[in-house]
Chain A
Amino acid sequence: MLMTTLMIGLVLGGTYSLAALGMTMQYGVARIMNLAYGELMITASFATFVLFSTFEINPLLALPAVATGGFILSYVIYGLLMSPLAKRASDAGALEVDSILVTFGLLFLLQGILLVIFGADFTSYTFLNTPVEIFGVVLAANRLIALVAAVVLGGGLYLFINNSRWGRNLRAVATNPENAPLVGIDLERTARTAFAVGGMLAALAGVIVSMFQTFTATAGVIFTMKALIVVIMGGVGNFMGALLSGLILGLVEALVSSYIDPGLTLAAVYLIFLVILLWRPQGLYGKG
């Protein structure tokens, strides 16, 4: 019983972590608080749906193409909308406020386009909804993919950021954007790439989530909210923190649902969120 609950919680948490990785990159490094983040995920979900239902392309095969699309789209968005903001912003705080306003508009633009193309109908397809048994617990294969992707990507990005030259540039831009250019880091290019990689991760999450969750053109905001909680709880800009806090939230939901009451899952999530922020205002892995 406990084993089942733990596995269910981890798999659920995997989805949360996965959804938050891209935002960690965009918010943590590029300093763009992207409120249209969920819309990008949903766009990727729709792209996967079209490829799968119209062209019969396996979503797992569609994944690299859609993720690349997410990268390119975000790269262009940064160039058109964010770059001017970043240039005129006097400090990181100003950029954050400006980006919230601009991406709030972007949210409605993307949502409007999706509504025109796909309508407001519920969209869902069945793919890999097959049982997989791990430690005697039966799980859906498509949800398991989300957990594996979150662990691999979250862990991989953590190692990469901490151990590579590009990762060091990213950390420099994230922690001290004013001084990074002094050591020869191209601020604009680094932030733009980080934003695009974040978009790629969002698209990737969108592809995987579409395999098991019903989505609509207007459902993006739910993902943005969840990702925001995970990112803040984990410590802005930290991939290990995002991974860990996503898993914690999933575990809490599953434990509360099984041992207390499914009605209290949301309350428990926000309670944990508050407790962690009271204990560590900078988030689990954040630097104070």
Chain B
Amino acid sequence: MKKLNFGAAFKLAATAIVASSFSIVSTASAEKTVKIGYAVSKTGQNSAGANITTVPNYKLWVDQVNKGGGLKLPGGERRKIEVIEYDDRSSSEEAVRAVERLAVRDKVDFILPPWGTGFNLAIAPLMDKHNYPQLAVTAVTDKAPQFAKRWKKSFWFLGGGRDYATELSNILKSAKDAGKINGKISVVSVADGFGIDLIKAARPALKDAGFDLVYDKTFPIKTSDFSSMINDAKSKGADTFIAFSYPPHTFALVKQAQVVDFNPKIFYLGVGVGFPVFEKIAGKNIDGIMSLGGVNHKSEAFQKYAKTHMDLLGSPPDYWASSVTYASLQMLEQAIGRVGLDREAVAKEISSGSFDTILGNIKLKDNQLRTLWFAGQWQNNKFVGVSPSSREGATDVVIPKARWVKN
């Protein structure tokens, strides 16, 4: 009995395999795909950032393109996207290996970038060697102009530390000139890539603007308790508190400042302020807090994007690099639509063409996006772009921040 059943099952399975292999062949011949690969930090210490800013936008974009029939090629033909995804486990060596594999073994048509400045720099030579355009979105570096020259098919979307520091210093200077704040600043910064970049640029900029840095300390990346630092910063009589921090620090700093009732007129924190979770952490005290980035909430394109992001992924986008990531994918899509799958031509098109995106019309300058929000502020429970103030959709910055209330 047992044997008989087994035999029948085997026959059935064999028929199924034969049938299904035919169907694979037939669909494959009817429908060619565009292979797009990427390696991101799905696990490890970078995974939180990657899974907020990068991965959701890749998923959203692929989903939308495929639902719309696929990527449009110049002849009008549409091809669906086939994704090959690797986890770099938050190790840049692993990211490099995965990119090599995507290029050599998987032979994908395009490679999307990993999350983070260091990772984008790590894979840049390899992307160049294998002739892939690199849309380095989540990379903040002052050296972007040099990198763009060295690797001609690399594109840099988030500006450099100097851009953010200079804009912040401009905001502070006009507040001081208007008599809204005194000339003292307390600043802390994380002793790691991004924090070092920003504080290096901020020190001279703030000093040139006539400020006195009464408390200026760096802290190790693994710091979890900021009681001492907040107390010391508070005791110096500065009206402005700046922290160039990573998300866990950002969250701890805002909590600690509320506990000891440290109420500077300007409260500026680093990465994490634009994350959806920040609303829960700062609670009622969110309004007035400033940070890097921002968005134009009045833009219909952004509203539509935020809604689809929420609908498909169950969470809103972050308010700094999420929309820039999505816009970079729109650029890739449109470039492919104009010149096809030839990577050289696509890179040239991204470099020189202009594109309709959720951030408006974008044209890169020397392979860099320069129309960016360098400073934003929470106002009426929205993180709005405040600087550059000349940019369309900019909101006036509010100084001083309201005093903390009890959550």
Contact = CB atoms under 8 A, between A and B. Distances in A.
B78 interface: no
A123 interface: yes
B259 A216 contact: no
B51 A257 contact: no
Nearest to B272: A122
A32 B52 CA distance: 36
Contacts, number: 118
Interface string B25-52: 0000000000000000011110110111
B220 to A, nearest CB: 4
Given A253-B225, A263-B191, A265-B223, A119 B51 contact: yes
A129 B256 CA distance: 8
B343 to A, nearest CB: 31
Taking residues whose C-beta sits less than 8 angstroms from the other chain, chain B's interface range is 35 or more
Contacts of A111: 43
Interface residues of A, number: 40
Given A115-B43, A122-B247, A265 B227 contact: no
Interface stretch (B177-185, B274-282, B298-306, B361-369): B274-282
Contacts of A115: 42-43, 47
A269 B34 CA distance: 53
A125 B218 contact: no
B21 interface: no
A264 B146 CA distance: 34
B281 to A, nearest CB: 5
Contact of B252 (A112, A213, A266): A213
B228 A124 contact: no
B227 A214 contact: no
A124 B217 contact: no
A140 B228 contact: no
A263 B218 contact: yes
B222 interface: yes
Contact of A262 (B50, B218, B315): B218
A217 to B, nearest CB: 8
B70 to A, nearest CB: 28
B45 to A, nearest CB: 6
B280 A126 contact: yes
Interface stretch (A4-12, A152-160, A233-241): A4-12
B346 interface: no
Interface in A210-258: 212-214, 216-218, 222, 253-254, 257-258
Nearest to B262: A138
A105 interface: no
A119 B49 CA distance: 11
A202 B50 CA distance: 29
Contact of B220 (A4, A125, A140, A263): A263
| Chain A CB within 10 Å, residue with most, of B44, B188, B255 | B255
A79 interface: no
B224 interface: yes
A263 B222 contact: no
Given A129-B258, A140-B259, A212-B255, A121 B277 contact: yes
A130 interface: yes
Given A138-B259, A138-B260, A258-B232, A125 B280 contact: yes
Interface of A: 4-5, 8, 11-12, 15, 111-112, 115, 119-126, 129-131, 138-140, 143, 212-214, 216-218, 222, 253-254, 257-258, 261-263, 265-266
21 contacts: A8-B228, A111-B43, A119-B51, A122-B248, A122-B275, A122-B277, A131-B261, A138-B259, A139-B227, A140-B259, A212-B252, A212-B255, A214-B247, A218-B47, A258-B231, A258-B232, A262-B188, A262-B220, A263-B219, A265-B220, A266-B223
Interface of B: 42-45, 47-48, 50-52, 188, 191, 217-220, 222-225, 227-229, 231-232, 247-248, 251-252, 255-256, 258-261, 272, 275, 277, 280-281, 283, 315, 406-407
